[in-house]
Amino acid sequence: MILSITAKCSDCCGTILFGDDDKVLKETDGYVPSIMPGGGGDYVELDIDVATGRILNWKVPTPEQLDEFIGR
């Protein structure tokens, strides 16, 4: 079974990216980050495998995408 979730954040999406040392690398409040499924605007779209809890439509961001997200 797959649970499909679509959420509209209306410019109120809060995200925090932690580094390996639990240090905050980036914190946002506003649009959904483009590295998120369905991201780059107001929507988050997640397809979750109910049995495992895994997000099926997650695409691992490239180092370049993470650098852009962090603002390096």
pLDDT score for 72: 77
pLDDT mean by block of 10 residues, the chain; 72 residues: 94 92 94 89 95 97 94 84
| % pLDDT > 70, the chain | 100
Q: Establish how many alpha carbons lie within 13 A of residue 63's alpha carbon, considering only the half-sphere containing its beta carbon.
A: 0
pLDDT score for 11: 84
- Name the helix (H) or strand (E) containing 57: none
pLDDT score for 41: 87
Say how far apart CA 47 and CA 11 lie, in whole Å.
22
To the question of pTM greater than 0.75 for the whole model, the response is yes
Domain boundaries, the chain: 2-70
